[in-house]
Structure 1
């Protein structure tokens, strides 16, 4: 079971942001620094993010560093679930800018290959980023768990009910 494996630490958890308001992508002319211009978490998404953190705490799963895309829905997911996060542009969406896909995915693969820690690493990002790295499709709030040091080695998925 994936939850049991996470107790040993060192895994990479790719989390898609929690449930958002209806829509795809962001409104035309959105600004990263202004949450009012973006598609944000719905009230259900805020509950889902909090529940994710509770599931980790209730199961005794330690989380080390939490990194997130700069999009407000990702930052909010990370902070509601795990209390803090560091924005890392490598996790930013390339949905509207596919020419960034190869560079960002390559940087992320390199980072995961070199990741050596006893702590689980949480990376909160977007569907397109997770699919580019793993080939997996994930629902809002779903987590793809990767083996330490192996960017394409999926151990399993976690879904908050």
Structure 2
């Protein structure tokens, strides 16, 4: 007899179903081509009620070193000069369009904090955006549920938006799509889950 899926697995299955439905709208209109900010990005941000979730800028390598410690950037994988310049270009895109996020939230990892700070001059560290490194499956599921809850509160604030800087693993687990370094996804809450409206990338 087959074993029933765990509560966390059932949450993941429900999330996957919601993600497919959420992507259907975007697929119908087509993704913006990679390598440039979406033509609708500014309009979506101005309309408010959305979050731009960005993968941190270029940080060479794949994983943190074995001696990794939160709070000690010397032990982490960090932005290189290309990543720092990419972060500044993201900030410049917002400045040129007079777009100011109501909040800028970041994973505690240094490469995310640095991306947010170089782009927007500030970063509020939020553990829910952190990499799943070293966390249990239940912790990861709880973090994703927290992201959904916060996204829903942003949806109730027309005319305002937030920027969240996080990791590829987090975005992939949350909305089921991959992102390049410095690339973002415009998200809104739909039936309590994240719906992808457009991709965002500044070159």
Query: Shorter-normalised TM-score: what interval?
Result: over 0.9
Report SS of the residue matched to 2:105: strand
Judge which range, 83-92 or 100-109, deviates more: 100-109
Larger Rg: 2
Structure 1 equivalent of residue 87 of structure 2 = 49
After the TM superposition, list the runs of 4 or more consecutive aligned residues in structure 1 that deviate by more than 4 angstroms. none
Structure 1 equivalent of residue 41 of structure 2 = 2
RMSD of aligned residue pairs (Cα, Å): 1.5
Change in CA separation of 1:98 and 1:48 when aligned onto 2, cut-off 3 Å:
farther
Give the deviation of 1:97 after TM superposition. 3.0
Report SS of the residue matched to 2:193: coil
Deviations 1:99-137 (A, max 9, x none): 232111011111112223232101100011111111111
Equivalent residues of 1:12, 1:148 under 8 A apart? no
In 2, the alpha carbon distance for the partners of 1:27 and 1:97 equals: 16
Structure 2 equivalent of residue 126 of structure 1 = 167
Equivalent residues of 1:145, 1:156 under 8 A apart? yes
Q: How many correspondences in the alignment? A: 160
In 2, the alpha carbon distance for the partners of 1:15 and 1:37 equals: 23
Give the deviation of 1:3 after TM superposition. 2.0
Give the deviation of 1:98 after TM superposition. 5.2
Give the deviation of 1:11 after TM superposition. 1.2
Unpaired segments ≥5 residues, structure 1:
none
Structure 2 equivalent of residue 91 of structure 1 = 129
Of 24, 47, 56, 1:17 maps to 56
Equivalent residues of 2:128, 2:147 under 8 A apart? yes
Structure 2 equivalent of residue 108 of structure 1 = 147
TM-score of the superposed pair, with normalisation by structure 1? 0.93
Report SS of the residue matched to 2:152: helix
